[in-house]
Amino acid sequence: MLVLAGRPQEPYASMLRRQADALGIADKVVFTGHITKNDVRDLYHACQVALFPVKSQGGWLAPFEALSAAKPIVTSTTMGAASVISRHDLGIVSDDFAGAIKDIYSRYQEYQEKAVTSCAWVKKHLTWERFTDTMVKVFEETMARRG
């Protein structure tokens, strides 16, 4: 089953529905529409693979939320999070989503183990405390240079 979470804008949503119909998979595709943060969390825990074909900077934290649920991820090369994911080998960064999905399912146990390791990395390195400590340090250094 493919779950497309969130509220896609028209005419994109209609195009996705037509494509699912044309491929004969409409009965295997769920369009959730707007969902709550709790629903998003539940979807991450229920999924086998999380896909982020985002072509802009939106949703930067979403792949890390999926990793926090210890799920293998695939992000587009243009997503803002792609550089961190690639640099730390947290998931697949590719615009070939079909190939990435096939690779994950052909070696699912390996990717699941990697997702568990990536989950630990996210929980250690992407905390609000660490973010605020870094920001405070930058502000202090900037103020010290200004005199």
Give the SS3 label for residue 75.
strand
The three-point CA angle 76-98-16 to 5° equals: 80
Give me the tens of pLDDT residue by residue for the chain, a chain 147 residues long.
999 998 878 898 899 999 999 999 999 999 999 999 999 999 999 999 999 998 765 678 999 999 999 999 999 999 989 999 999 999 999 999 999 999 999 999 999 999 999 999 999 999 989 889 889 999 999 999 986
Residue 45 lies in a domain: yes
Q: Is residue 47 part of a domain?
A: yes
Residue 55 lies in a domain: yes
Determine the structural domain holding residue 97 and report its residue range.
36-146
Residues 6+ apart with CB under 8 A from 66: 44, 47, 50, 52, 73
**121 in a domain, yes or no?**
yes
Query: Counting beta carbons within 10 angstroms of the beta carbon of residue 2, is it exposed (0 to 12), middle (13 to 18) or buried (19 or more)?
Result: exposed
Instruction: Give this prediction's pTM.
Output: 0.84
Q: Is residue 11 part of a domain?
A: no
| CATH number, position 67 | 3.40.50.2000
CA 37 – CA 39 distance, rounded (Å):
5
Q: Is residue 100 part of a domain?
A: yes
Residue 3 lies in a domain: no
User: Does residue 44 sit within a domain?
Assistant: yes
Domain count, the chain: 1
Give the chain's largest Cα–Cα span. Answer: 67
